[in-house]
Amino acid sequence: MPKTKTSTKPAQLKLKIRIPHVILDVRGADPRLLEALASGLEEMDARFRILGPGLKTFPQAFSLEEALEEAHMWVVLSSKLPKEFSMIVDRGIVPILLNGLHPDAENYSAVEETGNCFLFQKLDPWHVYGTLVRALENFSFSYDWENLRDQGRCLIKLD
């Protein structure tokens, strides 16, 4: 009786990998902050774009419209909210900003599934970097991320 061939190939697993797009809004920021963050940002699994004058090692966003179109996260690296902030959160972009910059901003807690953004306590490289790491970790959980995006819309100022 002839031997039949059986396949010993393992089943192929299809993965969908989402790469987070992060806008670093450096308008009005201290340029030394971005310089201090640069080496750590280069090691992160994310696509960064600079909005405003910044380092040449990171690509610039061609325009505000381009930044709004592709961003998943918007990092405000100054002590003032951008004038387009309502538009940012209305599009479901998750803000990462200095604590106290927006009166209704609440730091996201993955355990309690509460909060509407990610907050850093000081405008320095360690605090910004640590908060960005938390945001990138949470981005990989699509259900939680969608809830966070929806909760972030409460930051829109009603005119």
Domain that holds residue 41: 21-155
The size of the chain, in residues, is: 159
In a domain, 3, yes or no: no
Tens-digit pLDDT profile for residues 58-92: 889 889 999 999 999 999 999 999 999 999 999 99
Q: Is 97 inside a domain boundary?
A: yes
Q: How many domains, the chain?
A: 1
pTM above 0.85, yes or no: yes
Within a domain: 33: yes
Report which residue type is found at 47. R
* pLDDT tens sequence across 145-154: 999 999 999 9
CB atoms within 10 A of CB 148: 23
Rounded distance between C-alpha atoms, residue 25 and residue 41, angstroms: 14
Six token digits for residue 6: 């059986």
5 falls within a domain: no
